[in-house]
Amino acid sequence: MKLTLRKPDDFHLHLREGDRMAAVVQDSARWCRRALIMPNLKEPVRSTQAALDYRDEILAALPQGGFEPLMSLYLTDRTTPAEISQAKASGAVVAAKLYPQGATTNSDLGVSHIEGLYPVLEALEKTGMVLCIHGEVTAPEVDIFDREAVFLDQVLDPLVRQFPGLKVVLEHVTTAEGVAFVEAGGPNLAGTLTAHHLLINRNDLLVGGIKPHHYCLPVAKREKHRKALLKAATSGSPKFFLGSDSAPHPQSAKECASGCAGVYTGYALLPYYAAAFESAGALEALEDFASRFGAEFYGLPLNEESLTLVREPYLIPNSLEYGSDALIPFWAGQQVAWKLQ
């Protein structure tokens, strides 16, 4: 069996920088024509110039071309509306990323008080740039499994009411509440869904020994939530599209006493998504989810290229090279049912 689709776009991708970026960018270029590159580097991408430099670095690592990095700007308490105008004018930056301070990897410089950011959000609304949100509150009294649902009530609901013309993406939705919130919103509100959150629940993280390579933020939730995500992904609703949140970390930083958050799905991105869609009997819904709805939301032309998957067993390697360390891909050592033709 074969499945040919328009070449996908990944609207949430962590590539990192330097050697480590060069080690993974080929994987994304294999599966995707374009990707929205996350700005949470050690030195976050806070200015248009930094975004353009980072873009050049990525392009230089792909001499054969065929992959377009769409850049995002990391919002801080000090981002100005003028920076947003400049980002828009560059033509290379399509989104701004809101990390609540302390929510995830390299978010220390994230936003502490969202209200303080309102002039910047006004500028985004005016320019038509997209606001991508890591939707979790960080208050220590909120249980980690509730952080997304609480964010919807406390932060996102007031925000979308205040800025009805702002295009907002709730990134890596992990809960039934998140799905319902996106569905109930207007056409300016959408959500991305990762492959891993469509495939694993919190038992896969914690039962039979802790599985550091299933640990990411937002953390995987109960099975009923995974089912809600899968239903949303396969529903044909243009409000949900592909954002892998592929987030490589060296093996040594994952397999240790305080392992960091992030799952590396870039290696076999489409086979993972195909497995999820097939499990729901909805392979025919994969193309729009992967290759149409995101581009339409961002106002980008659809890709002309295509990609063919064949239904043949494909063994995910145990380990990949990653600079001086190793990188463990999602489902390492396991077989998936689909591979690239």
Catalytic residue list? 245
Q: How far is the CB of 226 from ligand NCD (least distance, A)?
A: 16
What does 40 bind: Zn ion, ligand NCD, none (CB cut-off 5 to 8 Å by kind)? ligand NCD
Nearer to Zn ion, 148 or 245 (CB): 245
DSSP letter for each residue of 90-114:
HSSEEEEEE-BTTSSTT-TTSBS-G
Q: How far is the CB of 284 from Zn ion (least distance, A)?
A: 28
Q: How far is the CB of 173 from Zn ion (least distance, A)?
A: 12
Locate 233 and state its tokens.
């992904």
Q: How far is the CB of 110 from Zn ion (least distance, A)?
A: 12
Q: Write each residue from 115 to 144 as x if it is in contact with ligand NCD (CB under 6 A), else as -, in one continuous string.
A: -------------------x----------
Is the link from the previous residue into 39 a cis peptide, with omega within 30 of 0? no
Q: How far apart are CA 194 and CA 171, in angstroms?
A: 9
DSSP letter for each residue of 247-266:
----HHHHSSTTPPP-B--G
What does 262 bind: Zn ion, ligand NCD, none (CB cut-off 5 to 8 Å by kind)? ligand NCD
Q: E-strand spans in the chain?
A: 2-6, 9-13, 34-37, 68-74, 93-98, 130-133, 167-170, 189-193, 240-242, 306-310, 314-315, 320-322, 325-327, 335-336, 339-340
Q: Which residues pair with 35 in a beta bridge?
A: 10, 69
3-state secondary structure of 43: coil
Nearer to Zn ion, 68 or 136 (CB): 136
Q: Does 234 bind ligand NCD (CB under 6 A)?
A: no
Q: How far apart are CA 29 and CA 303, in angstroms?
A: 13
Listed ranges 51-59, 181-189, 241-249, 320-328: which one lies at the site for Zn ion (CB under 5 A): 241-249
Q: How far is the CB of 246 from Zn ion (least distance, A)?
A: 8
Q: Does 148 bind ligand NCD (CB under 6 A)?
A: no
Q: Does 261 bind ligand NCD (CB under 6 A)?
A: yes
Q: Which of 73, 173, 247, 307 binds ligand NCD (CB under 6 A)?
A: 247
By rule CB under 6 A, what count of residues binds ligand NCD?
Answer: 11
Locate 146 and state its tokens.
């509730």
Nearer to ligand NCD, 217 or 316 (CB): 217
Q: How far is the CB of 38 from ligand NCD (least distance, A)?
A: 6
Q: Which residues pair with 86 in a beta bridge?
A: none
Q: How far apart are CA 284 and CA 236, in angstroms?
A: 10
Distances (CA, A) of 338 to 13, 105, 292: 21, 31, 21
What does 147 bind: ligand NCD, Zn ion, none (CB cut-off 5 to 8 Å by kind)? none
Q: How far apart are CA 248 and CA 26, in angstroms?
A: 13
Q: Which residues pair with 242 in a beta bridge?
A: 193
Q: Which of 39, 178, 262, 294 binds ligand NCD (CB under 6 A)?
A: 262
Distances (CA, A) of 166 to 55, 102, 124: 25, 24, 7
Nearer to ligand NCD, 130 or 307 (CB): 130
Q: Which of 193, 213, 195 is nearest to 205 (CA)?
A: 213
Q: Which of 245, 263, 287, 293 binds Zn ion (CB under 5 A)?
A: 245
What does 214 bind: ligand NCD, Zn ion, none (CB cut-off 5 to 8 Å by kind)? none
Q: How far apart are CA 158 and CA 130, in angstroms?
A: 17
Nearer to ligand NCD, 6 or 97 (CB): 97
Q: How far is the CB of 99 from ligand NCD (least distance, A)?
A: 8
Q: Does 40 bind ligand NCD (CB under 6 A)?
A: yes
What does 217 bind: Zn ion, ligand NCD, none (CB cut-off 5 to 8 Å by kind)? ligand NCD
Residues that bind ligand NCD (CB under 6 A): 14, 40, 104-105, 134, 216-217, 245, 247, 261-262
